[in-house]
Amino acid sequence: GANASLNFTLGDFANVQLNGRIMSNGFGAVAQGPLERSQEELKEYTVNADVKLDKLMPTKWGLEVPFNFTMTETFIDPKYNPLDDDVKMEDAHNKEELEKVVRQFNRYKSYSFSNIRKIRNPDNRKPLRFYDPSNFALSFSYADEYYRDVYTTYNINQNLRASLNYNYGFKFKSVEPFKNMRAVQDTAKSAKYLRFLKEFNINPVPTRFSFRTDIDRLYTENMFRDLSSYTGSASLLMPA
């Protein structure tokens, strides 16, 4: 078996990571017997990229647009015919036909925008309003997974998610209801005993208002493979 990894950065614009893995037939620990070792050949690679798309936009827009892309593909080829465990693939009489269907293949892809928002200009002296764009944050992701093997013609899973966050902090307004009472004034004899009343304060308005709304959609489709032409049986063979 072998593993490889490569990571490179494009300034503060993007970070890209590549990973690969190969495991051959017969791979395993020294103490493992022949039947305990891997009976298949595996190849896999993964690409992952984090990109700050806002770096391509005018600075005056004040946007943050983080984007992520991930893709993984896995290929697994068995040493033995999965429809007849006693026969190696290379010895199967219908080897050319089987090779088209016995490979286990899985592909996963995802695209996501996480927490897209507008950054408020620190030089902006105007009070923050409840409708200010900087109060909002938007996220979106789409994932697609495709799988097939000797028993499955295809299995598809697609997932779409989106969310909107709103967060607004009200300006703090302190009310000290007992501040002007004569009994708490410094000249009063009782002042030192009632200092806690003088310093008592409340905020009559909420400190923060926030909400979040989410959309989550999932689509799944699956089709089993008719193996009658490979097994000589007229029935649909399902995995055990």
pLDDT in tens, 135-177: 999 999 999 999 999 999 999 999 999 999 999 988 777 777 7
On average, the pLDDT of the chain sits at: 84
Strand, coil or helix: 158: strand
Tell me, what's the pLDDT at 235?
43
22 neighbors 54 (Cβ within 8 angstroms): no
What is the C-alpha separation between 153 and 158, in angstroms, rounded?
A: 17
pTM for the full model?
0.75
Q: From the DSSP assignment, how many helices (H) and strands (E) are in the chain?
A: 3, 11
141 neighbors 160 (Cβ within 8 angstroms): yes
93 neighbors 38 (Cβ within 8 angstroms): no
The residues pairing with 22 across neighbouring beta strands, listed in sequence order, are 2, 43
Tell me, what's the pLDDT at 55?
93
- CA distances to 98, 150, 191 from 234, rounded to whole Å, are 17, 16, 98
| Both tokens assigned to 120 | 């408020």
Could you read off the pLDDT of 209-229 as tens digits, one per residue? 899 999 999 999 999 988 877
Could you read off the pLDDT of 111-145 as tens digits, one per residue? 999 999 998 887 777 878 888 989 999 999 999 99
Strand, coil or helix: 183: helix
